[in-house]
Structure 1
């Protein structure tokens, strides 16, 4: 499917690519690696499909004026606790890690959260809103015969709730939580769940990363990797940061079919 045809399909679903589009990445989509295998599937980091800023909107209702700083500290601790537990062999699923990280972030800012507010904030990760171009892109790829799956650090229950809440569960061939490997991305064991679940070689699966660190991990694993830089953040200073980058799912589609 050509990029022009993809854009026509998305526009026909309501012109979603033009709504709430973040500022494009300066570099634009780059050419794919030469000699690449035929692409038959896509694995997605969840935030390429869902807007993570919804957590901050919930946090603003719980802690007015504190949301940005609270969520920044919370997110950093999520990564640190997940990777610390994985490295130390003390694995807990991502929902538990998320709660632990929130407890730290709230305490560090002197916030006292009620049990109800804590549950509401953790639950916000399973109630995110899809980006405006998500549904139309997934439907177009399914019509084109590609096998699709999120490949997420989310626990299985978090992942199920998120996809059901958004009404997108049926658009995927598999729902892949790294909990199956009892680790988190960027462990190679986490990425290896993608080929196993989709029944394809890693060279046949594009990995769509939201974070530059995830793009690097996926590229090191051996996926053809696209960094979907939705929020136009600075690239990581790593030896591998994905094979291409862009700001929308249309850019990803161009990479898939190039």
Structure 2
């Protein structure tokens, strides 16, 4: 799968202008960042999941992934709106099975389980370890604040050997909700016991950046795929392509 295709299938891109590789607004307040809360995918690389799909289904893989991801997010938000909660892993599997049916692919349980297992064997991007080390050297608390289940997050952390860097693993599943609900973002304040202005939220997706800004978090968008910004009346405090850019932003912000 090439870069252009992956950007499109993630569903992160809507009309707008491409953001620069690194930009941020000057922090005019005296409040300093004391913690960094990550979504899962600035840390974990999701590309192997989709590589598996395209290898299994070379002709229909692209279509399958597009439908799968659209339904994955759609099911989360529809179930939240209708108060019919299922966790991230369950709705992701439901969305995959719908995508198989839509694409007229007769996938057996073994194939479905093989694809879903990729979510439980995630590996990290190349810049993660050094960047987390540098953030810890700045005296910051580090946590996840993700829609993925705690079990999925812990498996990814353990698989990658980065458990010592994380002070908290916060899954919205604990409150049976999903970002961008304010209830989901509020979990960061509750666990870290800090003001929202002291917690930097780091999303992978543009909609998650907008949700965090609506809630009131300072936000640095790790836009690894150069996605186009969603039209949601929200601007990040900073944006970059990787965690190296994030570390530089935090240093500047806390001057």
TM range (shorter): 0.7 to 0.9
* CA deviation after TM superposition for structure 1 residue 32, in Å: 4.0
Counterpart for residue 64 of structure 1: 58
Are 1:200 and 2:194 counterparts? yes
Distance 1:36 1:182, change over 3 A: farther
Match of 2:22 among 14, 21, 28: 28
What pairs up with 1:1-258 in 2 under 5 angstroms? 25-26=19-20, 28-35=22-29, 37-258=31-252
Structure 2 unaligned blocks of 5 or more: 1-6, 8-17
Distance, in Å, in 1 between the alignment partners of 2:61 and 2:216 is 37
TM-score (norm 1): 0.87
Please say if residues 127 and 166 of structure 1, whose CA atoms lie closer than 8 Å, have aligned partners that are also in contact: no
Please say if residues 218 and 236 of structure 2, whose CA atoms lie closer than 8 Å, have aligned partners that are also in contact: yes
The count of residues paired between Structure 1 and Structure 2 equals 236
Distance, in Å, in 1 between the alignment partners of 2:198 and 2:181 is 20
* CA deviation after TM superposition for structure 1 residue 38, in Å: 0.7
Please say if residues 123 and 156 of structure 2, whose CA atoms lie closer than 8 Å, have aligned partners that are also in contact: no
Please say if residues 145 and 170 of structure 2, whose CA atoms lie closer than 8 Å, have aligned partners that are also in contact: yes
SS of aligned partner of 1:237 = coil
* CA deviation after TM superposition for structure 1 residue 111, in Å: 0.8
Counterpart for residue 6 of structure 1: none
SS of aligned partner of 1:46 = coil
* CA deviation after TM superposition for structure 1 residue 36, in Å: 5.3
SS of aligned partner of 1:47 = coil
Task: Give RMSD over aligned pairs.
Answer: 1.7
Counterpart for residue 11 of structure 1: none
Please say if residues 19 and 228 of structure 2, whose CA atoms lie closer than 8 Å, have aligned partners that are also in contact: no
Structure 1 unaligned blocks of 5 or more: 1-21
Please say if residues 68 and 98 of structure 2, whose CA atoms lie closer than 8 Å, have aligned partners that are also in contact: yes
Distance, in Å, in 2 between the alignment partners of 1:246 and 1:104 is 34
Distance, in Å, in 2 between the alignment partners of 1:125 and 1:152 is 13
Distance, in Å, in 2 between the alignment partners of 1:245 and 1:125 is 26
Distance, in Å, in 1 between the alignment partners of 2:36 and 2:82 is 31
* CA deviation after TM superposition for structure 1 residue 252, in Å: 1.2
SS of aligned partner of 2:247 = helix
Distance, in Å, in 2 between the alignment partners of 1:123 and 1:241 is 35
1:38-63 CA-partner distances (Å, limit 9, x unpaired): 11100011111111111111212332
Distance, in Å, in 1 between the alignment partners of 2:51 and 2:168 is 29
